[in-house]
Amino acid sequence: MANTATVDELGHAPEVRGKNYLNQTAGVWSWLTTVDHKRIGIMYLVSVLVGFGLGGIFALLVRLELLTPKKTIMDATMYNQAFTLHGAAMVFLFIIPSIPASLGNFFLPLMIGAKDVAFPKLNLLSLYLFWIGAVFMLAAIVTGGVDTGWTFYVPYASGVSTTSVISATFGVFVMGFSSILTGLNFIVTLHKLRAPGMSWYRMPLFLWSLYATSIIQVLATPVLGITLLLLIFERAFHIGIFDPTLGGDPVLFQHFFWFYSHPAVYIMILPGMGVATEILTTHSKRRVFGYKAIAFSSVAIALVSFLVWGHHMFVSGQSELSSAIFSFLTFFVAIPSGVKMFNWLGTLWGGSIRFTVPMLYGIGFLFLFAIGGLTGLFLGTLSVDLHLHDTYFVVAHFHYVMMGSTAIAFFGGLHHWWPKMTGKMYDEKLARVGFALTFIGFNWTFFTQFILGTRGMPRRYYNYLDQFQPLHAFSTYGSWVLGTGFLITFICLARSLKNGAPAPANPWDSTTLEWQTQSPPITENFEKAPIVTLDAYERPAEETA
C-alpha cells in the first residue's frame, strides 16, 4: 500500500539491503551518544518497561497483603511504602512517558516523512534527564522508601513523613524537564518537518493526539515542577508554604498539584486514543470515520483538561459554586471523549475486521475505556462523589482509565508496530494467550473493586473489616492472572527477537507512511524524501473500486 512516492515505488527492494538503524553502528557507546530518534525511542521503551515491571511487582505485593484483613506479608509501614512506590513508578516511570517517549519518538518522524525530530540533541538530552530523574526515584527506594502516596500530599509529605520524600520528588522534578523537552520537540517537528504534500489533515491521527499531548506537557508540567520544588524547600528549610503548622495552606498544594495532574491524565490517555485509532482503522481496512472530529476532539480535550482540576477537591472545603462549575466542566470534557468513541465504532462499522493481536487490544481498549469513562461521570456528580470519594470505586475508575485504557493501548501499539521496530514477527498464538489472560485478569481484579467501593471500602487502608475479605481475596486472585498475562506477553515479544520470522515492510497492509519503508527502517528513515499524494487512510482507487 502506498500513498507516497516511496522507495518501493522507485523499484528498490529495501528489505534485502541489510543495513538498518539497528546495525548501522555497533557498541554501547553508539547507542548512548546516538541522536537517531528510533534508537532513542527504543531506549525509552526499555526504560518504561523496566518502570512497568517495578510498578507491577509492588502492585502484586500490595494485592497479596490485602488477601487477608490483617497482616499477610508486610507491616503497615511497609504497605504504605509499597503502594506509594507502585503508584509513583507506574505514573512517572511508565504511563506518562510510555507512548509519547517510546512509540512517539520512534514513529512521529516516520509518519510525517522526516529524517528525525527537529532537535535531535535535545531529544537525547530529554532521555538523559528521564534517566537521572529515575535514578533519584530509585535512590528513594533504597534510602528509606516513600510512604506519602504518589500524590505527595502535605502536610504529611512536607513535615510528618520520615522517608526519602526529597529524593523522590526531586526525581519527578527532573523528569518533568524531560517531558517538557519532548513535547517542545514534537510541536516544532510537526510544524516544520512534514513531508511535501502532508497537510495537517493528511497526518495520521496518532500525530494529532501527540500534538495535543505536547501542548499539555509544555504548559502544565512547569506547574508541577514549581510545586514540587516548593515542597522540597518547605521540607528542607521549614519555609511555610503548604504546612499549616508553619503558616502554609495545604489546599493550595492540592490546587497546584491537580492543576497539573488532571491534564496529566490526558497526557497519559490522549496518546492511547491515537494508538487505538491507528489500530482500528488499519486492522478493519477502513478509512477513519470522522477524521476531523477525532482530530479536533483531541485538541478540545487538551484545552478543557486545564479547567477541571477542582473535581478532585469536592470534599476539600471549596465553595459550592466552585464545585458546581467544576462538576459541569467535568461533564463537558466527556463530550469530545464521546465523539471519539462514536467515531471509532463508526470506523469499525462495515469494515473488514481482522482479529489480529493488535486488533484484540484495540477492541479491548474500547471496552475498558467505555467503563473507565462512564464511571468518571459518577465521580463528577457532586451528590454521588460525596459517597464514593476515597473508596475503592475511585481506585477501580482510575485503573480502568490508566491501566485498562492507556496501558492496553500501549501494548496494542507495541504489537502493531513491533514488526517495524524490530524487523521480526512474533508468535500470534502466544500473543493471543497473553492478551486473553491480561484482559480477563484486569477485569477480574478491578471490576471487583467497583463493588468494594460502592459497599464503602476506603482506599489506601492496610487493615479492613472482615466483611470485605471475600471481594479483596477475589481481586487478589485476579491480579495473579493479570501478572501472568503480562509475563507471557513479555516472553512472546522477547522470543521474537531471536526466533521471530523476518517482518515484511507492511505486514498489516496499512496506508500510513511509516509502513512504506523497510522493516526495520534505515537510519535516514527513507532513501528518498517521500511526497504525500493521498490522505493518511485513503487507499488507491483500484483497491476501493
Q: Tell me if 347 is assigned to some domain.
A: yes
**Cell output for 150:** 504518589
Q: Tell me if 196 is assigned to some domain.
A: yes
CATH number at residue 308: 1.20.210.10
Q: Does pLDDT of 479 surpass 90? A: yes
Number of domains in the chain: 1
Q: Tell me if 8 is assigned to some domain.
A: no
State the average pLDDT over residues 250-263.
Answer: 86
Tens digit of pLDDT for each residue in 6-18?
444 433 444 445 7
Distance of CA 19 to the CA centre of its chain: 32
Overall pTM surpassing 0.75 (yes/no): yes
CB neighbour class for 130 (10 Å; exposed up to 12, middle 13-18, buried from 19)? buried
- Write out the residue range of the structural domain in which residue 323 sits: 26-531
Q: Is the dihedral of CA 350, 440, 294, 394 positive or negative?
A: positive
Q: Tell me if 9 is assigned to some domain.
A: no
With bands split at pLDDT 50, 70 and 90, how would you rate the model's confidence at 1?
Answer: very low
Q: Does pLDDT of 137 surpass 80? A: yes
**Phi, psi (deg, nearest 5) at residue 525:** 75, -55
Q: What is the structure's pLDDT at 541?
A: 60
CA-closest candidate to residue 201, choices 126, 92, 338, 296 = 296
| Residue 247 CA: distances (Å) to CA of 19, 311, 394 | 64, 26, 31
Give the contacts of 235 (CB within 8 A, at least 6 positions apart): 157, 158, 159, 165, 166
Tens digit of pLDDT for each residue in 282-306?
999 999 999 999 999 999 988 888 8
Q: Which range has the top average pLDDT, 64-68, 216-220, 335-339, 525-529?
A: 64-68
Q: Tell me if 489 is assigned to some domain.
A: yes
Q: Tell me if 93 is assigned to some domain.
A: yes
Q: Does pLDDT of 26 surpass 70? A: yes
Tell me the C-alpha distance between 413 and 426, whole Å. Answer: 14
Q: Tell me if 11 is assigned to some domain.
A: no
Q: Tell me if 5 is assigned to some domain.
A: no
Tens digit of pLDDT for each residue in 237-248?
988 899 999 899
CB 133 within 8 A of CB 175: yes
